Chain A
Amino acid sequence: MPPLIIAKGLSKSFFAGKETISVIDNLDLSIDEGRFACIVGPSGCGKTTLLKILCGLEKPTAGSMLIHGQPPDPKKQRFGVIFQEDSLLPWLNLLNNVKLGLELCHIDNAEEIAIKYIDLVGLEGFEKYFPHQISGGMKKRVAIARALAVDPEIILMDEPFADLDAQTRSMMQKELLSIWSKLNKTIAFITHNVDEAVFIGQSVYVLTKRPTKVKATVSIDIDHPRSRLSPPFISYREKILGMLQEEITSL
């Protein structure tokens, strides 16, 4: 079977007045169906831009991004996107926030499904809370529940655990892995935390500095659950850290 997601010669520039900012330059990448793909890259290299192209929010300036051979279009394909910033609606309670995604996708039984996914991310009993009444980690879980509830074909996550403390983060990583192994979805997970990428990803795509392209694709051949102390884990981590280091020092 051909890969689900294929980017070929993908380039993206922004035009700000007279200036042209080249963010992605001739990037090639392919992700197989059902894979847990991690994308790591130096800060500001264009990871979020790549994610926006993946879900059709931005169009490539040149080259192509294809999913099932089609340009990404949320009106035709089902995406579950978890944004880097907080994207909950402050005027809706948690239940209605999760229901919103279902309603926008025109899915019936929104209430029932929303409750199910709120339970899945461990927020049972918080349905009537408003976003300002819960912690940052809980907000991320709501965003995850909202994205998963629509039964997306592809899940895109943009540094979802970046603002969490180390413990919550590690717990969320394990939960995400267990959710993924149950649902068997294709996930593109952006992070700049190499440890996180090696802990959860099946493949790690290392991006160069801006204008970015794929510097290397590393397949992590360790079964889940992984131990952070095992020699292969450490050697993968050191290898990827080394690649990123090159990018940062050559800035």
Chain B
Amino acid sequence: MPKLDRFRSTLIGVASLATFVIIWQVVTMVANSPFLPTPVQVFEAFIKISTIGDIDGYTLWWHIGFSLYRVLLGFAVAIVTAVPLGILMGVKPVVKSVASPVTEIVRFIPPIAWIPLSIILFSGINRYIFLLWIGIFFPILLDTIAGVKRTSETQVNMAKTFGADNKAIIKKIIFPSALPEIMNGLRVGLGVGWMCIVAAEMMGGEPVGLGRLILKYANLLQIDVVVLGMVVIGLVGLAMNYLILSVERRLFKWRVEIKA
């Protein structure tokens, strides 16, 4: 994108956000309800929670940290399970025909429906990991399979003519070919996992985590902190997405340039 365009789109973005906040301020001031906090009240809640802490003494940073920790654990488990399975399913039609009847059904069951079962089956941190894994696994799996399918047959044949065995072909040709799609799956998966955090923390007993923060203050009917929690979830999600996108851009420079 040319420099000027980028500058202009940033400007438009800032203006649009400012407009949104102003409208929010005006509407909530007019409504004047204790259940509809103004942006200023949410900002005050931010100052309070991030410095003094919540009713249990946990600051906002603890809540963010714990939620991130849980999501990243679920994310890690999802990566080490979904990527190898996806590659196997993409490479070996047998594995695909065995696995896909199950995965094709399970992937439509939303993480929230797994809450009762995960309470029965797991305890402690494993509950979070399981629930987040359910959410993150399938985007990664599907994109990995799609990525493997895009591998060029000529490139595989080329490797074979140099005497490459299956392991080398997967490592040197198939995995790098699929990597752009896999990264896309990681980005989407992490986003889905992050969106599941409230659901996951609904079932835990621990008093810390962004989802927990929202629930605690919803019970207290202090909606300013609830909205603060929502805004923070959105902002952290945006930051993670941006982070992976910039890694993708750096890693796949060749791909971006080919498309351009």
Residues of A within 8 A of B (CB): 52, 55-57, 74-76, 78-81, 83, 85-87, 89-91, 100-101, 103-105, 130-133, 150
Best-surrounded residue of A52, A76, A89, A105 (most CB of chain B within 10 A): A89
State in angstroms the CA–CA spacing of A150 and B176 once bound together: 23
Give complex CA distance A1, B54 in Å: 90
State whether A90 touches B157 (Cβ < 8 A).
Answer: no
**Complex Cα spacing A131 to B257, Å:** 11
Least CB distance, A157 to chain B, in whole angstroms: 12
Instruction: List chain A residues, Cβ under 8 A from B172.
Output: 100, 103-104
B20-28, B56-64, B161-169, B199-207 - interface stretch: B161-169
Task: Report the Cα distance A100→B164, complex, angstroms.
Answer: 10
Complex alpha-carbon distance, A141 and B70, angstroms:
51
- Are B176 and A74 in touch, CB under 8 angstroms? no
B158 in the interface (beta carbon within 8 A): yes
A to B CB contacts below 8 Å, 15 in the list: A55-B161, A56-B161, A57-B160, A74-B162, A74-B163, A76-B163, A83-B154, A90-B255, A91-B176, A104-B162, A104-B163, A104-B168, A104-B172, A132-B258, A133-B257
Contact across chains for A89 and B168 when beta carbons are under 8 A apart: no
B167 CB, min distance to chain A CBs, angstroms:
11
Contact A74 B258 (CB under 8 A): no
B119 within 8 A of A: no
Interface residues of B (CB under 8 A from A): 152, 154-155, 157-165, 168, 172-173, 176, 179, 252, 254-255, 257-258
Q: Chain A at the B interface: mostly helix, strand, loop or mixed? A: loop
Select A75's contact among B163, B255, B258, beta carbons within 8 Å: B163
Q: Are A89 and B155 in contact (CB under 8 A)?
A: yes
**Shortest Cβ distance from B180 into A: residue:** A91
Whether the pair A81, B254 counts as a contact (CB closer than 8 A) is no
Are the C-beta atoms of A83 and B254 separated by less than 8 Å?
Answer: no
7 more A-B residue pairs beyond the given contacts A74-B162, A101-B162, A104-B164, with a C-beta to C-beta distance below 8 A: A55-B161, A57-B160, A79-B162, A90-B254, A90-B255, A90-B258, A132-B257
Per the bound structure, the CA–CA distance linking A87 and B152 in Å amounts to 9
Q: Report A148 CB to chain B, min CB distance, Å.
A: 12
In the complex formed, the residue of A with least CB distance to B153 is A85
Closest CB of chain B to A14's CB: distance in Å? Answer: 14
